[in-house]
Amino acid sequence: MRTMVKNVGKKFSRPDDAVITIKQINEESIHRHNAFAERVALMGELRSEIARG
């Protein structure tokens, strides 16, 4: 998920107040369930996180 956030912040030129939704699904082969992650943030928040490292 961190790499996805970093790539979105760098590749897309959107205003800082644009709402960004990132979703990831990891399909598990040895478990009976999949892992889901979702992040909703403003583009400005993502850029600040990337700048901080």
For 34-50, the pLDDT digits (tens) are: 889 999 999 999 888 88
DSSP string, the chain: -HHHHHHHHHH----TT-EEEEEEEE--SSSSS-EEEEEEEEHHHHHHHHHH-
Q: Residue 24 in contact with residue 36, Cβ under 8 Å?
A: yes
Structural domain spans, the chain:
2-52
**From the CB of residue 47, how many other CB atoms can be counted at a distance below 10 Å?**
16
Query: What local confidence, expressed as pLDDT, does residue 14 receive?
Result: 84
| Exposure of 34 in the CB half-sphere (CA atoms within 13 A) | 6
* pTM exceeding 0.75: no
